[in-house]
Amino acid sequence: MNRAYLEVTRLVSLADDKEKQSQAFRLMELALEEQLRLSRSQQLLEKLSLARTMWKANVSFQNALEYMVLSLES
């Protein structure tokens, strides 16, 4: 998970507006949906969905992704 947390900063710099951020969430969803056979992927998809909901409620993209990554460690 440490690597995932570090990748948040890189992704945030690439997705610098709402449209790109929305696309990033969708691409992550699609990637995880392909791997739903694994129980871990289901948990990741649920956390991603929560992060997207937070983002839609005006939590910053970076904070929503960091929350997702940190919540997976617990």
Instruction: Give the model's confidence band at 6: pLDDT under 50 very low, under 70 low, under 90 confident, else very high.
Output: confident
H or E, element range at 14: helix 2-14
Between CA 53 and CA 40 the distance in angstroms is 20
pLDDT at residue 39 greater than cutoff 80: no
Cα atoms in the 13 Å half-sphere on the side-chain side of 67: 16
Structure tokens at 15: 């997705």
Can you give the pLDDT at residue 74?
66
Q: Are 63 and 52 in contact (CB under 8 A)?
A: no
